[in-house]
Amino acid sequence: NAKGTPIATGYVNCLGDGMPMMMNAMFPIEFLQSPGQVTVIEEAFTQVRRIKLNQPQKPIDDVEPGFFGYAVGRWEGDTLLVDTVGIKEDIRYQNVPHSKDLRIKERIHLVAPNILWNEITMEDPVMLEKPWTVTVAYRRMPNYTLLEYVCEDNREFRDANGIQQIHVGK
């Protein structure tokens, strides 16, 4: 990395961001509420996250680690409070490592008719000295429809040393 040679990321292998990076929504994101669940879909890599409503949170050791973890939420007034555990340890946010004990807490609410805020707090007693909070704002785009995003014929690849390379030509 110091030499200016990028370390390969999950994108090189056509993998999505996982949590909490997918909530940064570099691509459009959609929130769907149905009975018992809020579903979050990000256009990039067609990432899908499910937030179970009004369910107890499972102990971290009982959750199979995944890209999006196990998320439970509940409404407190007009704010959706979400608690997520079970994020795979190789999924990173801004290249910061975390342990299996990472817990992500979110406060999602409208701050204006077309602006939704997500206050994301990461807590990890093993890797972080104190909770780390970031706030992301989403702007409603009522006339936009998520596009299909399929990662195929990727010209980037990870070499044997984990360095990102690019296929040039045929």
Poorest-confidence range of 22-31, 69-78, 101-110, 123-132? 22-31
Q: What is the mean pLDDT of residues 95-112?
A: 95
**Confidence label for 44 from pLDDT (cuts 50, 70 and 90):** confident
* Residue 25 CB coordination number (10 Å): 19
How far apart (Å, rounded) are the C-alpha atoms in residues 83 and 71? 6
**What would you report as the CA-atom Rg of the chain, rounded to the nearest whole angstrom?**
17
Q: What is the mean pLDDT of residues 27-48?
A: 93
Poorest-confidence range of 20-29, 118-127, 160-169? 160-169
How far apart (Å, rounded) are the C-alpha atoms in residues 114 and 158? 40
pLDDT at site 167: 66
* Residues 24, 136 contacting (CB under 8 angstroms): yes
Q: Coil, helix or strand for 23?
A: helix
**Percentage of the residues of the chain whose pLDDT score is greater than 70:** 84
**Confidence label for 31 from pLDDT (cuts 50, 70 and 90):** very high
Task: Report CA-CA distances (Å) from 21 to 16, 78, 93, 120, 159.
Answer: 9, 24, 6, 10, 24
The DSSP secondary-structure symbol of 93 reads: B
pLDDT at site 92: 84
